[in-house]
Amino acid sequence: MELIENIQKGERAAIAKAITLVESSKDSDQQISRQLISELIKKPGKSIRIGFSGPPGVGKSTFIESFGSYLVTQNYKLGILAIDPSSQITGGSILGDKTRMVEISKNPNTFIRSTPSKGALGGISMGTREASIILDAAGYDFIFIETVGVGQSEIVASNLVDIFTLIVGPGSGDELQGIKKGITEYADIFIVNKNDGELKIEASKTAADYKSALSYYKKLDELEKQVLLVSAIEQTGMEDVIKTINQIVDQNKQKGIFEERRADQLEFWIEEEVKNIIASDITKRLSSKGNISKYSEKVMKNEMSMYEAVETITKDTLK
Amino acid sequence: MTNKSNNGFNNWQKSFEKETKKNLSDAKSETDEGIDIKPVYTKDDLENFAFVENNSLPGQWPYTRGPKASMYTNRPWTIRQYAGFSTAEESNEFYKKNLESGQKGLSVAFDLPTHRGYDSDDDLVMGDVGKAGVAIDTVEDMKILFNNIPLEQMSVSMTMNGAVLPVLASFIVAGEEQGVDRSLLSGTIQNDILKEFMVRNTYIYPPEPSMKIVADIIEFTSKEMPKFNSISISGYHMQEAGADNVLELAYTLADGMEYVRAAMSKGLDVDDFAPRLSFFFAIGTDFFMEIAKLRAARTLWAKIMKDFGAKNERSLILRTHCQTSGVSLTEKDPYNNIIRTSYEALSAILGGTQSLHTNSFDEAIALPTDESARIARNTQLILQNETGVTKTVDPLAGSYFVENLTEELSKKAWDIITEIEELGGMTKAVKAGVPKLKIEESATKKQAKVDSGSRVVVGVNKYKNPKEPSVDVRVIDNNRVRDDQIKKIKAIKKSRDTTAVEKVLANLTNAAKDETNLLVPCIEAIRLRATVGEVSKALEQVYGRHFAKSLSVSGVYGKQFEGDKDFMKVEKKVIDFENANGRRPRVLVVKIGQDGHDRGAKIVATSFADMGFDVDMGPLFQTPKDVAKDAIENDVHAIGVSTLAAGHKTLVPELMKALSNIDPKSKIIVFVGGIIPEQDYEFLYKNNVSAIFGPGSNIIECAEKVIDLISDNLSKE
Ligand code: B12
Ligand SMILES: Nc1nc2c(ncn2[C@@H]2O[C@H](COP(=O)(O)OP(=O)(O)OP(=O)(O)O)[C@@H](O)[C@H]2O)c(=O)[nH]1
Ligand SMILES: [Mg+2]
């Protein structure tokens, strides 16, 4: 495919078109997209993929602008996939990430793609994993994935990246109780943003809360998880972030964790894909047979119990 | 006995209900402000007022009836027309002509590069020089601007906020070199930065240092320029951006409070500067509401200033300039605009404004021509000389309706002001972006009302003129202006003392690091012929340039169209498109260059999204190259360029070039919306623009056309 060559040459338009293909819901596009990804994966690049997740409005985009500007001055090539949560009930969205990434979006060493989440996979859009494979093949050093952290999506997002970062705001320490276990497992770095102005004291306090909570949940064989204080707006703390990232990457590579994780992630995605295919197949079968309404009527008329109905339908559908 | 309980009222009610076949309680009409207007007002409606005092007099507390006892009976309002274009030479000619024809004060409109602190030779402003105002690069331009206009006699108003330091410095130095001491200069500098972050978009630095600059100017003028108004606290731009009258009133006064605090924090006594604070409001088509707004503004400001501890009566009095609404004017059937402007002007006069700008009828097409500017000015001359409106002070005082409306507006505005104060004041609110969002919400609602036909705009959505008249348009050759300006800059840079300039600019940068009043070193720099751009950059080194975070409303437009046939038709087209193409139609809506008119772009973006489009929203001030990169990386189907400040003939071809530079085979289609004079349509179509949507376009129709064009384009592949 010519497209593949052009992606590998780093042509902007080719990369963009390829991402459209992997995001497309059209069957014919999906077929091409599978071929494409199968080819690209044969010649992997050297990208490190980093996820930035966190609640709405903590400053993820601003942080990426700030941290990204720092990286591009060091001549790194940076690909950014922003999953925009703004889709509405009507399905349309306003993708405004670019208004928060003014400086880096001008830089020739960046590629920034926003994608409406459309509610898929708790915030991750269809095709994000594939898009990162495309950017990797196109020679980007870092791939940032910005997702809104709401519940389940963190697990999915963490399975897309080599390093998973949770960005939180000052004062969020109180919520620690609720999220304690999940995050310690999935996040590698904790960034407390907005460490500036009047918020400084609160930010330090929050960082301390995280540190103590993390040491409490730390498993014996684990590295100490890092809690970093930054201000995206004042662009402070950025060296610490890159230092920490490099450290973790080096350590993980040395210990084989890096590759192990990628292998685990592959398993995760194979399972997801299989589940997806089965689920959509089953949905199709269910609706074509019209069993549900048929049996629910029977249940209503007390001709059978709900459990009998469920069992009958299941057997019939899986036949 | 109250009116309601007497027989007369009951009889009236019966007749009313018989005539209208409606219950009186259902016969209210709701305004944009959420105020219910009743079909009749009586004496009862003058009771229980918290703000308005029924027996007050003009020039007396709480100044509802006007700042002065005699008002226009002694001296009519000042006719002050806002104008400026291309070079200082041409604007100077225009000013002199206007003064000869009866205009009393000058009001300078600067071009966008000057507003944003760029010199005319800066690559970033290629399409913008001299287009939407006059270009000022050095004090030499300022001197030409006022050539043969004696500055000790002429009151000069300058709409300048972002680059307020170098521009005010240039004005002061131009005076000096005319032989006029700064203490004799009279006029107003807008110097209202908060509303720039909200709606006008010609800010340069972030909010905090910008507020410091505002305070510096108030401090300097209060000490050295006793006849000069240090600030014009402006609600005008908010209404033009879509705010209803309550929002306009509340945010303006809340801004005012913030400026008072900023000045007091410099150690000034409130009475040192408060008498030189002035205001600026828009006057739209809602006739009585606008009158009530001016009366309410004076009432509330008196209360606010008293609470600040003002002792001098002049500190309590709100004096204001007004401008008729530009956004009420239409591109379609443009002579109707003369009529609209006349009513608005009358409203401003009945509300008791101190000075007035009346818009030209070609407002929605381009900058005014000499002819249209003459008609606009005559609107006021006729009011002053032929109608008798100057003979009585505040003639609507005591009107049950107007007094009640004044009170209602005051109450509603006060609630918002209190809320903002509780949250820590306007600077904080502005930083969080809430007022801007509220204004955009209000603007979106208005658009939906017009598009759905529930609000009639004559000549646009009803009573259309089958034979649109063609009108003359002022054309500005910005390449020529730019070349002229660049020549002048070069000559000045050659002849000035470069080392001295460098030194004074370095001093300025240092001064920005502490609390020094920055106007003083700016005057020095300007005197030595530093440019507006150089001065701005010297400060930028310390403060940085501000990028606004853009938030968007959603669902506001769609909500007005629940069940609407046309709306649903577009929604269905979007779904069909998605089924056929594997994704929704994706459109990038952008502003290019220094044009900060974002009302249209924001409304179109949110409305398209409500119809199901995926809409990418670009930041302000992008270059054509930035836009092309953004469009291609996101693989959008189309780019919609919203352009109102006349840069389209330069910027659109540049965008086309930039697109094909990145991707020679690019299939992205480009359409254009905003202020495009008809003469330019062909030029744009020749440059491969697919469609043009002018002012007054129905957004649902735009959306349908866009999706059709995209589908056509895809089927060509
Ligand atoms: C509102 C307004 C302002 C507001 C802007 C608020 C804001 N945040 O947007 C304020 C008061 C701040 C303002 C300031 C200035 N303004 Co002004 N302003 C206007 C005004 C009165 C209305 C524009 C408007 O918002 N209309 C309502 C919106 C909804 O309509 P619209 O943008 O046209 O969009 C519709 C269509 O055009 C189309 N459309 C537009 N874009 C797009 C995009 C897509 C994708 C699609 C499908 C459709 C589409 O659909 C929309 C819905 O119908 C116009 C005159 C007029 N009547 O049009 C002057 C006007 C644009 N301003 C003008 C000028 C000169 C200025 C200043 C530069 C003055 C100065 N020298 O200081 C300043 C600086 C502003 C800046 N930073 O750029 C001039 C421009 C002259 C020219 N083109 O030759 C105009 C034409 C007035 C005039 N005749 O003098 N302004
Ligand atoms: N004080 C302070 N404010 C910040 C900082 N970073 C971001 N903000 C502000 O926080 C708000 C949200 O920033 P975004 O970058 O849009 O946040 P986000 O997490 O990407 O938001 P979503 O994408 O909508 O979930 C903006 O108003 C920023 O100006 C920071 O370091 N300090
Ligand atoms: Mg974001």
Q: What is the pLDDT of residues A22-43, one digit of tens each?
A: 999 899 999 999 999 999 999 9
Write out pLDDT tens, residues B211-237. Answer: 999 999 999 999 999 999 999 999 999
B632/A13 touch (CB, cutoff 8 Å), yes or no: yes
CB contact under 8 A, B633 and A62: no
Cα nearest neighbour of A82 on chain B: B634
Cα B702 from Cα A41, distance rounded (Å): 43
- Is A112 touching B (CB cutoff 8 A)? yes
Distance CA A39, CA A33 (A): 10
Res A175: pLDDT: 61
Q: Select from B583, B613, B617 the Cβ nearest to the Cβ of A24.
A: B583
Comparing CA positions, the residue from A12, A116, A129 lying closest to residue B631 is A12
Please check whether residue A88 touches B, CB under 8 A.
Answer: yes
Q: What are phi and psi of B660, to 5 degrees?
A: -75, -20
- pLDDT at residue number A183: 63
Higher pLDDT, B440 or B98: B440
Distances (CA, A) of A98 to A54, A118, B454, B497: 18, 19, 35, 43
Question: What pLDDT shows up at residue A225?
Answer: 84
Question: Would the CB atoms of A20 and B632 count as touching at under 8 Å?
Answer: no
Q: Is any Cβ of chain A less than 8 angstroms from the Cβ of B633?
A: yes
Burial class from Cβ neighbours inside 10 Å (0-12, 13-18, 19+) for residue B193 reads buried
CA distance to B232, B274, B291, per residue, from B281 (Å): 10, 18, 11
* B633/A12 CB distance under 8 A: yes
Angle of CA points A107, A110, A112, to nearest 5°:
115
Burial B584-595 (b: 16+ CB within 10 A, else e): bbbbbbbbbbbb
What is the arithmetic mean of pLDDT over B102-117?
92
Radius of gyration of chain B (CA): 26
Calculate mean pLDDT across residues A131-138. Answer: 97
- Predicted confidence at residue B116, as pLDDT, reads 98
Q: Which H or E element spans position B229?
A: strand B228-229
CB proximity list for B540: less than 8 A, separation 6 or greater: B117, B204, B205
Looking at residue A283, what is its pLDDT? 85
pLDDT of B405 = 98
Cβ separation A98–B617 shorter than 8 A: yes
- Tell me how crowded residue B329 is: count the other CB atoms within 10 A of its CB: 23
Q: At A90, list the tokens.
A: 């009507």
Lowest mean pLDDT among A63-72, A266-275, B198-207, B556-565: A266-275
B97-102: long-range contacts, CB 8 A cutoff, minimum separation 24: B97/B370, B98/B373, B98/B377, B99/B149, B99/B154, B101/B374, B101/B377, B102/B377, B102/B381
Determine contact: A118 vs chain B, CB below 8 A.
no
pLDDT at B461 over 60: yes
Interface of A with B in 90-109 (CB under 8 A): 90-96, 98-100, 102-103, 105-106
How far apart (Å, rounded) are the C-alpha atoms in residues B365 and B8?
Answer: 52
Q: Using alpha carbons only, how large is chain A's radius of gyration in Å?
A: 22
CA of A204 to the centre of ligand 2 (A): 18
The 3 state secondary structure assigned to B380-409 is: HHHHHHHCCCCCCCCCCCCCHHHHHHHHHH
- Percent of chain A at pLDDT > 90 equals 59
Segment B460-474 shows an average pLDDT of 93
Name the residue with tokens 């008791």. B352
**A24 touching chain B per CB within 8 A:** yes
Q: From the CA of A194, how far away is ligand 3's center (Å)?
A: 14
> Which residue among B571, B578, B583 sits closest to A20, beta carbon to beta carbon?
B583
pLDDT band at B350 (very low <50, low <70, confident <90, very high): very high
Task: Read off the tokens for B445.
Answer: 């609602």
Of A17, A90, A106, the CB nearest to B610: A90
Q: Is the pLDDT of residue A222 over 70?
A: no
- Give me the pLDDT at residue A87, please: 61
Q: What is the DSSP string of B43-93?
A: GGGGSS-SS--TT--TTSTT-TT-SSSSGGGTSPPEEEEEE--B-HHHHHH
Q: Taking residues B438-464, what's their average pLDDT? A: 96
The confidence score (pLDDT) of residue A198 equals: 86
Out of A28-32, A232-236, A281-285, B703-707, give the one with best mean pLDDT: B703-707
Q: Which atom of ligand 1 is nearest to the CA of B696?
A: 53
Report CB contact under 8 Å: A114, B634: yes
- Whether a cis peptide bond, with omega within 30° of 0, leads into B62 is yes
Q: How confident is the model at residue A150 (pLDDT cuts 50, 70, 90)?
A: low
Query: What pLDDT does A177 receive?
Result: 54
Taking residues A81-95, what's their average pLDDT? 77
Mean pLDDT of B250-257: 98
* Residue A194 CB partners (closer than 8 Å, separation 6+): A58, A59, A169, A170, A203, A231, A232, A233
State whether A94 and B606 contact (CB < 8 Å).
Answer: yes
In this prediction, residue B575 has a pLDDT band, given cuts at 50, 70 and 90, of very high
CA of B595 to the centre of ligand 3 (A): 25
Q: What is the pLDDT of residue A122?
A: 47
In which band, very low, low, confident or very high, does the pLDDT at A284 lie, cut at 50, 70 and 90?
A: confident
Residue A154 pLDDT exceeds 90: no
Nearest atom within ligand 2 for CA of residue A231: 31
The backbone torsions φ and ψ at residue A234, rounded to the nearest 5 degrees and listed phi first, read: -90, 0
Copy the structure tokens of residue A150.
């709401």
Each residue's pLDDT tens digit, A101-129: 999 999 999 999 999 876 555 456 678 99
Residue B1 has pLDDT above 50, yes or no: no
Quote the ligand 1 centre to B193 CA distance (angstroms).
Answer: 19
The rounded percent of chain B whose pLDDT value lies above 70 is: 99
Q: Among all ligands shown, which has an atom nearest to the Cα of B598?
A: 1
Q: Report the residue from A11, A12, A92 with minimal CB separation from B584.
A: A92
Chain A contact for B186 (CB, 8 A cutoff): no
For position A119, what pLDDT does the model report?
Answer: 56
Q: How far is the CA of B239 from the centre of ligand 1 (A)?
A: 12
Q: Is the pLDDT of residue B35 over 70?
A: yes
How many CB contacts within 8 angstroms connect chain A with chain B?
112
- In this predicted structure, what is the pLDDT of residue A155? 76
Give the least confident one: A108-122, B264-278, B573-587.
A108-122
Weakest mean pLDDT among A125-129, B285-289, B312-316, B380-384: A125-129
Binned at pLDDT 50, 70 and 90, residue B4 comes out as low
Q: What mean pLDDT do residues B565-577 have?
A: 96
Q: In the structure, which protein residues have their CB atom closer than 6 angstroms to any atom of ligand 1?
A: B 109-110, 112, 132-133, 159, 199-202, 237, 240-241, 326-327, 329, 363-364, 366-367, 447, 589, 595-601, 603-604, 640, 642, 644-646, 673-675, 693-697, 699, 702
For chain B, the average pLDDT equals 96
Answer whether residue A209 shows pLDDT above 80: yes
Q: Which tokens is A225 given?
A: 């998880």
How remote is the CA of residue B713 from the centroid of ligand 1, in Å? 30
Q: Do A16 and B547 touch (CB under 8 A)?
A: no
User: What local confidence, expressed as pLDDT, does residue A290 receive?
Assistant: 82
Question: Is A114 an interface residue toward B (CB < 8 Å)?
Answer: yes
- Provide the phi-psi class of B333: left if phi over 0, else alpha when psi is between -120 and 50, else beta: left
User: Could you tell me how many helices (H) and strands (E) chain B has, helices first?
Assistant: 28, 16
* CB A56, CB A86: distance < 8 Å: no
> How confident is the model at residue A180, as a pLDDT?
52
> Is the whole-model pTM more than 0.80?
yes
pLDDT tops 50 at residue B122: yes
Q: Is the pLDDT of residue B480 over 70?
A: yes
Is the predicted pLDDT of residue A70 greater than 70, yes or no? yes
> Which two tokens mark B634?
């996101």
Of A62, A65, A87, the residue with max ligand 2 atoms within 8 A of its CB, to mutate for a pocket test, comes to: A62
Arithmetic mean of pLDDT, B547-553 = 84
- Å between A198 CA and nearest CA of chain B: 12
Which of B378, B473, B363 is CA-nearest to residue B83? B363
- Nearest to B95, CA basis, from B155, B145, B168: B145
| Residue of A94, A102, A196 to mutate, testing the B interface (most B Cβ within 10 Å of its Cβ) | A94
Whether A258 shows a pLDDT value over 70: the answer reads yes
Residue B182, pLDDT above cutoff 80: yes
B15 band by pLDDT with thresholds 50, 70 and 90: very high
Kind and range of the H or E run holding B687: none
Q: What are residue A14's phi and psi, to 5 degrees?
A: -65, -45
Contact B314, B275 (CB under 8 A): yes
> Using a CB-CB distance cutoff of 8 angstroms, which residues of chain A are in contact with residue B441?
none
In this complex, which of A12, A94, A111 lies closest to B605 when CB atoms are compared?
Answer: A94
Residues of B carrying an active site annotation: 82, 236-237, 591, 595, 597
Region B365-380 average pLDDT = 95
Contact assignment for B609 to A114 by CB distance below 8 Å: no
